Amino acid sequence: MSKGAASISIILAAIFGFFIGVVAGGKWTGGEGTPATEAAATGANQEDSTRIPVGNSPVNGPNSALVTIIEFSDFECPFCSRVEDTMRQIHERYGNKVRVVWKNAPLPFHQNAEPAARASVAAHRQGKFWQMHRLMFQNQRELTQPNFERWATEIGCNLERFRADMNSPQTAQEVAADKALAERLSAQGTPNFFINGTNLVGAQPLERFTAVIDQVLARAETLQPRNRVYAQMVDSPVAAPEEPQRPRQPEQPRQELDPNTVYNVPVGTSPVLGAMDALVTVVVFSDFECPFCARVEPALATLRERYGRDIRFVWKHMPLPFHQKAGPASEATQEAFAQQSHAGFWRFHDRLFVENRPADILERPSLERIAQELGLNMARFRAALDNHTHNATIEADKTLATAIAANGTPHFFINGHRLVGAQPVDRFAAVVDTALAEARAKVASGTPRARVYQELTSSGANAPVYQNNPTPAPGAAAQPEAPNPNRVYTIRPGTRSPFRGGATARVVIEHFSDYQCPFCTRVNPALEEIARTYGDRVKIVWRDYPLPFHSGAMPAAMAAREAHAQQGNAGYWRFHDALFTGQSELGGEGARAFLERTAQAQGLNMERFRAALDNNTHQQAIRDDMAALDASGAEAGTPASFINGRFISGAQPFAEFQRVIDQVLAAR
């Protein structure tokens, strides 16, 4: 072969190798699921934007599409799952005019979302992102490493390469880059969309998406050159059309904690810093991974200097469930306490909350290094962490926090008076000064210093105390009082009611709801969190209570019941999720069509489905549910939940459900 021919061969081989490398690496601009020929045939590829770049992210749709939807999403988020059917309908409606670009935005309180994001990147590198994406959303409650690997094998990934890519620093950097982009764009929460730069937030119904897309597309079709449409519109996005006004339901009264209540918070055997006969006791519920807990430490140090032996601090562990490193850090400090008493705990505490602490301070090697430097017995220390020796102590602190509604960290009780958050030192001082004056009055009347805290708090509250509802204005209807937290109601069982969780669970939640009620939508994330947190220990039973002024609520309830009749609990909850996602479609003329479309998409027998709605097949079971709530004696609207008979009114946060569930579990 001549030198010239050899040179040409080398150049051709290099070009071919580059082409193969790009395709194999998942960087082909046609995107997965969109062949290169299709992208080329439909026009020139869009130039990227520097403000909201497509980059090498997974793409569904041709890169020549005039409309680009950047989707920031989380594989563990139930709302992200619900919007996927809407995205499918968008593709069906707009075809090659729209492409969807996936960006990972795993939320910090979804423990499995970050590994799932890395697994999706690893699948993307082998051209299998959308297959993995589908399996993750179909099995959203089973996002575990063994399943990621099993699914990777099922969709044809090289498993060894998948594992290496999933655990590589580059993969973590890609996910972090997506999250950083979301932060720069103030895209808080998931799902979050940018349609040629126009922001749309949440699992909106199809009509809301189409209203934006139609407006964006109309402008895009006027722009030249065609390959600059995306970049131009991102730099100058169209304003989103106004969201249609919906009839407002009266706001339910919120329960606000009474700021004047004194709580009985026992010191117990917890670590204490300060004189045992201090006049003011500050009980601190804190988390070593919480940035606000770290931020408040200088204020607490100032209080120690200012009040000397008149103040003491008591530590209670409250590692939050979405802080994966907080639990081991609590275990480490508790072992320091076990070996070196109060001083050992606080020395370890100070090392973890050191100013400008390094990012790896809570990692196992750092915990062991600190333990060694503090002179702990390392064999005992490692065994304590490996065997979770102090887990019962930490759980007891968390149970105490839940019982008195110490939700979130840091949380303080100053001689029983609640103070929440990383407050400035002056805010602490105001509460401490009041508590100190009260304590000194006790001493003046003959109470020994060492008994002041007990005297002031022993008759305090052991459960959250809420403010009384305000007095209504003349002529206005009085608001109902908060439900009695100690009353146990009797709820008649339903007729083959749908449920999730353990069939024989010790804790049963009878949840009365209405598919058209906006407050019922708001409580759904709390129910999702209950299912994730407690698993088969809790059974969540759905009870229908369609309100008479919601015209679409009864048909929706009957439709969901038919889904249950045909497909069991799994089919019921799929239909349930779809109804809440499309809640805005339940009240109009197209409500029946929406129900039928949903039933068909979920594979129901349509002849049986239509007959069930036409013949009101499930109406009696629904009316039995309504009668059960009416007969309970509870002053309830929707949503209304009964945890082993204990009433929770309205769309309360997860922490309120958790408080009652934990009380019920502890009492049995």
Q: For 6-33, what is the mean pLDDT?
A: 40
Residue 328's nearest CA partner among 373, 378, 291, 362 is 362
What pLDDT is stored for residue 478 in this prediction? 39
What pLDDT is stored for residue 30 in this prediction? 37
pTM of the model: 0.42
What pLDDT is stored for residue 223 in this prediction? 92
Whether 272-457 shares its CATH topology with 499-667 is answered yes
CB 264 within 8 A of CB 416: yes
Q: For 614-626, what is the mean pLDDT?
A: 91
What pLDDT is stored for residue 43 in this prediction? 53
pLDDT at 457 over 80: yes
Q: Burial, 9: exposed, middle or buried (Cβ in 10 Å; 0-12, 13-18, 19+)?
A: exposed
What pLDDT is stored for residue 468 in this prediction? 58
- The C-alpha atoms of residue 633 and residue 490 are separated, in whole angstroms, by 9
Range 272-457 classified under CATH 3.20.19.10:
no
**Domain extent listing, the chain:** 23-235, 272-457, 499-667
Kindly report, residue by residue over 376-396, the tens digit of the pLDDT: 999 999 999 999 999 889 988
167-171, 399-403, 573-577, 593-597, range with the lowest pLDDT: 399-403
Write down how long the chain is: 668
Classify 67 in phi/psi space as left (phi over 0), alpha (psi -120 to 50) or beta.
Answer: beta
With residues binned 3-state (H G I as helix, E B as strand, rest as coil), the percentages for the chain, rounded to 5, are: 50, 10, 35
CATH number given to 499-667: 3.40.30.10
% of the chain beyond a pLDDT of 70: 88
CATH number given to 23-235: 3.40.30.10
Kindly report, residue by residue over 228-275, the tens digit of the pLDDT: 999 999 999 998 776 554 444 444 444 567 888 999 999 999 999 999
pLDDT tier at 582, thresholds 50, 70, 90: confident
pLDDT at 119 over 90: yes
Higher pLDDT, 495 or 70: 70
| Coil, strand or helix at 243 | coil
pLDDT at 7 over 50: no
pLDDT tier at 631, thresholds 50, 70, 90: confident
- The C-alpha atoms of residue 366 and residue 357 are separated, in whole angstroms, by 11
pLDDT tier at 547, thresholds 50, 70, 90: confident
Instruction: Give the DSSP letter string of 122-180.
Output: HHHTTT-HHHHHHHHHHTGGG--HHHHHHHHHHTT--HHHHHHHHTSHHHHHHHHHHHH
Instruction: Give the DSSP letter string of 84-114.
Output: HHHHHHHHHHHGGGEEEEEEE---TT-TTHH
Neighbours of 205 (CB within 10 A): 16
* Average pLDDT of the chain to the nearest whole number: 86
pLDDT at 4 over 90: no
pLDDT at 483 over 60: no
pLDDT tier at 16, thresholds 50, 70, 90: very low
CB 75 within 8 A of CB 140: yes
Return all residues near 342 (Cβ < 8 A) that are at least 6 apart: 271, 272, 273
Provide the β-strand partners of residue 412. Answer: 284, 419
Kindly report, residue by residue over 308-366, the tens digit of the pLDDT: 999 999 999 999 766 888 999 999 999 999 999 999 999 999 999 988 888 889 999 99
CB 596 within 8 A of CB 582: no
Token duo for residue 592: 């029946």
